[in-house]
């Protein structure tokens, strides 16, 4: 049984490594839209897709490719954003957002419990554990130091969780969540790229 489990884990690890490598080959850095570079996806040759809010009013940017090469890029267009929402639409969007954060918090709590020793008893501290991730995410979001709140979010999780689970376990949970997010992002990017390839 142990050897079979080890084989499954090895296959899973190899699949994750392959997925991450495939996604990394499509990740670029876009400079010129603000004080810091932002990430983008090389959707196809000559076309990069990135976040609308990360771009300034400029139309010229510098793109650093996965191989280290740098090219000048021009803004092709932006997705139109709705300017008016009814009260009903706002309530629906708020409900969807709250449901999404509840799922995020549940997933984080499940991961944290999995990483904790079996002897750890959370008791009435479980709601605090669930609230830690959204709080840390918000702190990382408003951080102007690193992209995607890198290290800032983990630091916030460490501070929030240390009184609950101890410093060592808080560090393990914070780093584990970051690794899990990277793996999920890479998996989603790979699925999107494979879907685009099949459409062609």
Are residue 60 and residue 95 in the same domain, yes or no?
no
From 27, 47, 74, the end of a domain falls on: 74
As a whole number of angstroms, the distance between CA 79 and CA 58 comes to 16
Instruction: Mark 105-136 as b/e (b = at least 16 C-beta within 10 Å).
Output: beebbebbeeebeeeeeeeeeeeebbebbebb
Longest dimension (CA), the chain: 59
pLDDT at 31 over 70: yes
Q: What is the DSSP pairing of strand 38-44 with strand 47-50?
A: antiparallel
CATH number for position 6: 2.40.10
Asked whether residue 82 is domain-assigned, the answer is: no
Are residue 58 and residue 122 in the same domain, yes or no?
no
pLDDT at 181 over 90: no
Average pLDDT over residues 136-154: 78
Note the pLDDT of residue 148: 65
Average per-residue pLDDT in the chain? 80
In this structure, what token pair is assigned to residue 86?
């009814």
Range of the structural domain that residue 95 is part of: 87-199
Cα 156 to Cα 26, 65, 108, 138, distances in angstroms = 30, 32, 14, 10
Q: How many CB atoms lie within 10 A of CB 170?
A: 21
Burial of residue 166 (number of CB atoms within 10 Å: 0-12, 13-18, 19+): middle
Q: DSSP letter at 124?
A: G
Are residue 97 and residue 166 in the same domain, yes or no?
yes
Residue count of the chain? 200
Are residue 93 and residue 70 in the same domain, yes or no?
no
Note the pLDDT of residue 62: 86
pLDDT at 185 over 70: yes
Note the pLDDT of residue 2: 44
Are residue 128 and residue 167 in the same domain, yes or no?
yes
Q: DSSP letter at 119?
A: T
Note the pLDDT of residue 33: 63
Note the pLDDT of residue 80: 67
């Amino acid at each position: 049984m142990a050897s079979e489990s080890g084989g499954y884990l090895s296959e899973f690890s190899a699949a994750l490594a392959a997925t991450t490598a495939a996604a990394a080959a499509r990740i670029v850095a876009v400079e010129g839209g603000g004080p810091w570079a932002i990430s983008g996806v090389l959707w196809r040759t000559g076309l990069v897709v990135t976040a609308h809010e990360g771009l300034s009013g400029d139309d010229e940017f510098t793109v650093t490719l996965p191989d280290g090469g740098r090219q000048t890029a021009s803004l092709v267009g932006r997705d139109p954003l709705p300017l008016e929402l009814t009260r009903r639409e706002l309530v629906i969007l708020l409900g969807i957002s709250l449901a999404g954060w509840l799922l995020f918090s549940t997933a984080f709590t499940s991961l944290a419990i999995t990483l904790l020793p079996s002897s750890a008893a959370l008791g009435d501290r479980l709601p605090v554990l669930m609230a830690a991730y959204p709080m840390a995410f918000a702190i990382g979001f408003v951080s102007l130091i690193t992209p995607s709140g890198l290290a800032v979010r983990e630091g916030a999780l460490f501070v929030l969780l240390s009184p609950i689970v101890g410093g060592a376990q808080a560090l393990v949970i914070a780093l584990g969540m970051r690794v899990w997010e990277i793996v999920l992002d890479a998996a989603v990017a790979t699925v999107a790229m494979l879907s685009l390839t099949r459409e062609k």
